[in-house]
Amino acid sequence: MKKPSYVFFIVPILILIGCEDSNKTTLSPIIPLAISSVSPAASSTDVHVHSNIVVTFSNAMNDTEITASDLITLRDVSGDRVEARLTASADSTILTLDPSNDLDYNTQYTATISSNVRDRSGNALDQDYSWEFATISYSLLYTSTNLSDHTVNAECNPGGTTSCPCSANDVSMDSFAEYGQVTSNILETNTWVNAIGGKTFTETQPDAESVFLGTYRYQYKVKLPVLPATNVNQRENSGAVHMVMFLWDGRNALWQADKNSLEAGLYWELNPWNEDYGVIKVYDTDINTQTSTGITVTPDTEWHTFELIADFINQKYVSIKIDGQSRDISTIDTIQVDRSTWGDDVAFLITEESLSTYPGVGCPYVFVWSTQFKDLELGYLGTK
């Protein structure tokens, strides 16, 4: 019997095994599109009304569809759609829906991500994804149209940079039908003084409840009667406009204050000689230090709306809003200031302050400044 030869079978197999097609294309695995996270979180409550809707995806999204108006939508409890703008992060994995206006307080909202949303490979979600959240509640405590029940005090030589003669007679407050006016250096003398208009709630607030640690919102409208100018001969010249909230606990009833006040303050820089003219700042670290909020309001003679929200429990700012433009400033601490002469009561104070331009060492120049305020509101967020 003839012995079979196997070599002819083995060699071709070896040849096949040892050779590969150099032009063969390796296919990348298909990564399904998924939602990594959403903010605000599903079922969350006490969401801030300035919040955006932020969605993080597993894959980079299709750039041509990012601005489509129906990919992510937000509706209120009545089903009405909230007008908003959709933007993407640099890597296109995060989409942000920015409402055109603040959300309403104490309201349920539903956000929906459409199944039409696609990544750069054309992958889509299996179905629409929806979730609900609720905004924080807000309770109004106090309003004032024209400062008629406010008082004014003089802060002489603020910051200690001058030592010019000054007294309570150097400031004034006037109430008109539609607004109040706070004036520094009303006598037009060689002095520097901050006119502090304000309202104090001692022990109890307007709702007859005790003063408490909480998150407060303070808002007013402000107007400059004239424009500041880099002219030492123009007597009507401004240094700044302030709005401040104080929480004072003189007997350590609410927290271990030890004669320190908790303060959150907004500062509009109006000294025309300063490079940061028009910048909106907040007090940070101490009463002589301010941090820019990134908002600039070019001074004019129109009414502007300022809002400041601060969390006195955690001693943090929350946000500011200037003429509808909001900033999250929750990383900035409120300040503590030694007020050991203030007494043993518990009080909450709000101020509207008018400061004339710095008159130089020794006060050789005379500057007077009036600021108009109206439609003040004070309230708190959440529960007591």
Residues 274 and 111: their CA atoms lie apart, in Å, by 45
Give me 76's structure tokens. Answer: 């209120």
pLDDT at 70: 83
For residue 281, the model assigns a pLDDT of 97
Please answer whether residues 311 and 320 qualify as being in contact, where contact means their C-beta atoms are separated by less than 8 angstroms: no
Q: Which two tokens stand for residue 285?
A: 């670290």
Query: What pLDDT does residue 68 have?
Result: 67
The pLDDT, as a whole number, for residue 2 is 41
* Distance in angstroms (rounded) separating the CA atoms of residues 218 and 199: 12
**CB atoms < 10 A from the CB of 375, how many?**
16
End-to-end CA distance of the chain: 105
Angle at 45 between CA 42 and CA 46, to 5 degrees: 140
Q: Is 185 helix (H, G, I), strand (E, B) or coil?
A: coil
Whether 279 contacts 254, CB under 8 Å: no
- Domains defined for the chain, CATH in brackets: 35-136 (2.60.40.1220), 140-381 (2.60.120)
pLDDT at 3: 41
Q: What is the pTM of this model?
A: 0.87
Tokens of 283: 């007090």
Sequence-distant contacts of 360-366: CB under 8 A, at least 24 apart = 361/161, 361/162, 362/162, 362/164, 362/190, 363/162, 363/164, 363/190, 363/191, 363/192, 364/190, 365/190, 365/232, 366/185, 366/188, 366/189, 366/190, 366/235
Beta strands in 165-237 (DSSP E): 171-175, 180-184, 193-202, 215-223
Instruction: Give, for all 384 residues of the chain, the pLDDT tens digit.
Output: 444 444 444 344 334 444 455 555 555 566 889 999 999 999 999 999 999 999 999 999 987 777 666 889 999 999 999 999 999 999 999 999 999 999 999 999 999 999 989 999 999 999 999 999 999 999 999 999 999 999 999 999 998 888 999 999 999 999 999 999 999 999 999 999 999 999 999 999 999 999 999 999 999 999 999 999 999 999 999 999 999 999 999 999 999 999 999 999 999 999 999 999 999 999 998 888 999 999 999 999 999 999 999 999 999 999 999 999 999 999 999 999 999 999 999 999 999 999 999 999 999 999 999 999 999 999 999 988
Cα distance between residue 200 and residue 149, in whole Å: 10
What pLDDT is stored for residue 47 in this prediction? 96
The per-residue pLDDT for 69 is 67
Concatenating the DSSP letter of every residue in 329-356 gives -TTSBPEEEE-TTS-S-EEEEEEEEEEE
pLDDT at position 288: 85
Q: Cβ–Cβ contacts within 10 Å for residue 300, how many?
A: 11
The pair of structure tokens assigned to 182 is 């706070």
- Specify the 3-state DSSP secondary structure of 372: strand
3-state DSSP helix/strand/coil percent for the chain, to nearest 5? 5, 45, 50
pLDDT of 254 = 97
Q: Could you tell me how many residues make up the chain?
A: 384
